[in-house]
Structure 1
């Protein structure tokens, strides 16, 4: 089995005939089974396409966040960040692992995709209504700024819940290997949302105007995704939805759902607890530092979206280990140098983006949060690797271990140390979660060779520290660090895993030819 970017040098398996019933383009085959194609250059280009769209989308949301922090003030920015956190926690209920189950089942039996998509959308609608009703009933706990703040908060929560429909269509696109289409939808949605929100901010409409614009921009995503998915020939088969089919959809999802809930608790509960135990201002400072973590998490999402269908189609342990190592390698190439940048120049980055006040009080938090993206990405990918062959209690046990660590340390430390404690606990919890998944999931995903996978990024980042620590302005320091990092990463990777470099060269060569 080849490693790294080189997924396989053998020709991909043909698609079965009965895919014609799903896409109108592919041929049928026995029993409706279609292993997801295993093509190294195609997979790498898909990852880069998704990554490019995510980068632009995240940058647009970063601009929105910076604008909100500077124009709303620390307290209202804290209220906005708190409402987002509550919305993300509420969205766990309608998500509940259904997307992973649909990808896993449809990747193995593609003729079920239309029925599974309809069941997913029906179940999601029921749970979105329930989640919003619960949050609405608890507005006293989910607002920070009185009646107006509660109304704005509910609009933001509604926007986050609506975004779960876009994720449903992402699942179908992953099975169809049409993720580039959904990357365009995601990019358009983010750009429109950021543009509408910034217009509201410049119009001095305050927190309520920002919330209305945020909801309006978000709704573009699921509506556009529904139209484009239907045009591929994959319209939801509503006739397949019944009580029995929804019961089958839910069978086994509780394990993935609880694990997803834990991951979201690890992701957002720190902001909620700071609001409870400290104040709005502390939430605003922490949210600014946290945004620099959150902006890069798309790398982990992209890795999982690209690799999980390949794992689920043939979930043999060696194959799953191969893709897990590939995903960690992809993430380390981005996250390790990014953590190095934040350690060396975190104060300057915060000052440029958010201002001196945020930089002076948030640099310590940012230092503790710097390794969190890597640990988050590893835990996120490993949670998919463990369930590639179906739900398992190992994922649940791992999530519970991380949950106990997170809640215990947050309750003990946040009242005294505030955002610093939250940052430390977040990073440690993700590390514990990743370690537990790898240890408990060995029989399903093998044992990833972490030293070998992480070595290129760690060695190259160590070399890149020199210009970052030198007394240079930020821009030339970044250019010098980037040049050293890329050269060293290529050199070390050529020695440890030459297939990665070979596939990257092939991909770039094809792009030049086209």
Structure 2
């Protein structure tokens, strides 16, 4: 029988391989979106860009309803049991079609509540097919991810994202506005859904929308907790935009949304990591919990080592980046960019804990916490936005996300039967290395920008590898000896 060490050696590289496959395409896709957003910010202006951002926040609410937790459930179920795949996907197809139709009136009502602009109502209705095609793509893309065919999902997503972005940029330069941009997005969303459908059809045969009662009952009864978590998580992280639109203006939303769009690649990278890790975590949680703990520890350390220095550089040069990318009109966005950099670093590094919770028996308890944390976020926004505008919204998100990160770690400890994920020492070393990097940037402020960055990166890498060579046992010995002295 395969021992724990052998299993860890075999499974961990597979998880890393899948992660790299998705991230390779994800980097290209997100850089393309950054390019589009930079152009859109300048050509649409603050007010129109704020409206564009609000439309996609509302579409996000609609998608959280349409998804109903079915995509993560699909990945979990197919990763554990691949039998009856055709009937399973047929029922998912039918459920998603019904939920898409139910989400449309919710979107229209939400647009009326959040805005008095007739233009926003029309654009939301125009965007409805985009929501539908994105939702219908979910079962087939999730099935491919569960089967660990990450190279295919990465290729399809990257290709169609680049086509979407290229079309959008061309339309902007030709003088078209938001309606035409949405039309281009809808066109490519249809073809992306069709591509996923044809790939799955080649493997399992023709799939028609269906509603097998037993499968539908199982799916809806098991997905609702994922749905609740998804809706709460979305509200938690995007309610600030909705409240700014209602309490302030589209222009304020534009200032707030600009740095968010700049960091969107990192935000979406954490979502991609969720999808990639889901099959591995789902199976290992049942077969080898101790091996899973070590895999999670390794991935958290790697993600933190990558994200912390990159986001420190972005935060340090926030004002320069905002002025260079968006222009003088968006100068106030620099303070929000700094706040978002810290949030992104935590989100990126700690995302494996979220995947772990979603696959555990603690999802309902985590849902209760998320409900209270979302209520706290809304309360803080109600208090801070009237006084501090978009900065208040950023502070509210920072506070509640910090709480969320700590609680995720505590839940992970409970899932591993009281054994804490061994990341403390690694994070302390990383913080020291990042601190030295920040100190280097401060001391070399007189030097040219390129030289500053190169020196800071060199100091970080040197400190990181030097500190990594110090074993945990040596640190523990020193601390123990000091206490005894």
Aligned equivalents of 1:449, 1:305: Cα separation in 2:
23
Of 50, 56, 61, which residue of structure 2 is paired with 1:84?
56
Q: 1:247 to 1:214 in 2, by over 3 A?
A: same
Q: Is the 8 A contact 2:300 2:350 kept in 1?
A: no
Of 2, 13, 21, which residue of structure 2 is paired with 1:49?
21
Q: Is the 8 A contact 2:160 2:192 kept in 1?
A: yes
Aligned equivalents of 1:375, 1:166: Cα separation in 2:
29
1:285-300 → structure 2 map (5 Å cutoff):
285-300=255-270
Query: Are 2:102 and 1:130 aligned?
Result: yes
Of 121, 124, 130, which residue of structure 2 is paired with 1:159?
130
Unaligned runs of 5+ in 2: 473-485
Aligned to 2:460: 485
Aligned to 2:39: 67
Query: Are 2:6 and 1:10 aligned?
Result: yes
Aligned equivalents of 2:337, 2:267: Cα separation in 1:
15
Q: Is the 8 A contact 2:164 2:188 kept in 1?
A: yes
Q: Is the 8 A contact 2:54 2:241 kept in 1?
A: yes
Aligned to 1:501: none
Unaligned runs of 5+ in 1: 1-6, 13-36, 498-514
Q: CA deviation at 1:67?
A: 0.9
Aligned equivalents of 2:436, 2:77: Cα separation in 1:
45
Aligned equivalents of 1:496, 1:401: Cα separation in 2:
39
Aligned equivalents of 1:239, 1:132: Cα separation in 2:
19
1:166-177 → structure 2 map (5 Å cutoff):
166-177=137-148
Q: 1:98 to 1:326 in 2, by over 3 A?
A: farther
1:454-473 → structure 2 map (5 Å cutoff):
454-469=427-442, 470-473=445-448
1:326-337 → structure 2 map (5 Å cutoff):
326-337=298-309
Aligned equivalents of 1:210, 1:377: Cα separation in 2:
30
RMSD over aligned Cα, in angstroms? 2.7
Query: Are 2:304 and 1:308 aligned?
Result: no
Q: Is the 8 A contact 2:66 2:135 kept in 1?
A: yes
Aligned equivalents of 2:61, 2:97: Cα separation in 1:
17
TM-score (norm 1): 0.83
User: Number of matched residues?
Assistant: 464
SS in 2 for 1:394: helix
Q: CA deviation at 1:117?
A: 2.5
Aligned equivalents of 2:87, 2:138: Cα separation in 1:
16
Q: 1:139 to 1:473 in 2, by over 3 A?
A: same
Aligned to 2:71: 99
Aligned equivalents of 1:49, 1:419: Cα separation in 2:
36
Aligned equivalents of 1:478, 1:230: Cα separation in 2:
50
Q: CA deviation at 1:456?
A: 4.8
Q: 1:210 to 1:439 in 2, by over 3 A?
A: same
Q: CA offsets, 1:343-391, max 9 Å, x none?
A: 3111111111111221x21111122222111333456432321232457
Q: CA deviation at 1:402?
A: 1.7
Q: CA deviation at 1:342?
A: 2.8
Q: 1:138 to 1:97 in 2, by over 3 A?
A: closer
Query: Are 2:85 and 1:113 aligned?
Result: yes
TM-score (norm 2): 0.87
Q: Is the 8 A contact 2:58 2:110 kept in 1?
A: no
Aligned equivalents of 2:469, 2:272: Cα separation in 1:
24
Of 396, 405, 409, which residue of structure 2 is paired with 1:438?
409
Aligned equivalents of 1:330, 1:119: Cα separation in 2:
38
Q: CA offsets, 1:483-507, max 9 Å, x none?
A: 443444344445559xxxxxxxxxx
Q: CA deviation at 1:65?
A: 0.8
Q: CA offsets, 1:248-279, max 9 Å, x none?
A: 11123222211111111122111111011111
- Structure 1 or 2: more helix by fraction: 2
Aligned equivalents of 1:298, 1:95: Cα separation in 2:
17
Q: 1:457 to 1:305 in 2, by over 3 A?
A: farther
Q: Is the 8 A contact 2:72 2:275 kept in 1?
A: no
Q: CA deviation at 1:53?
A: 0.8
Aligned equivalents of 2:236, 2:453: Cα separation in 1:
31
Q: Is the 8 A contact 2:15 2:280 kept in 1?
A: no
Q: 1:67 to 1:137 in 2, by over 3 A?
A: same
Aligned to 2:232: 262
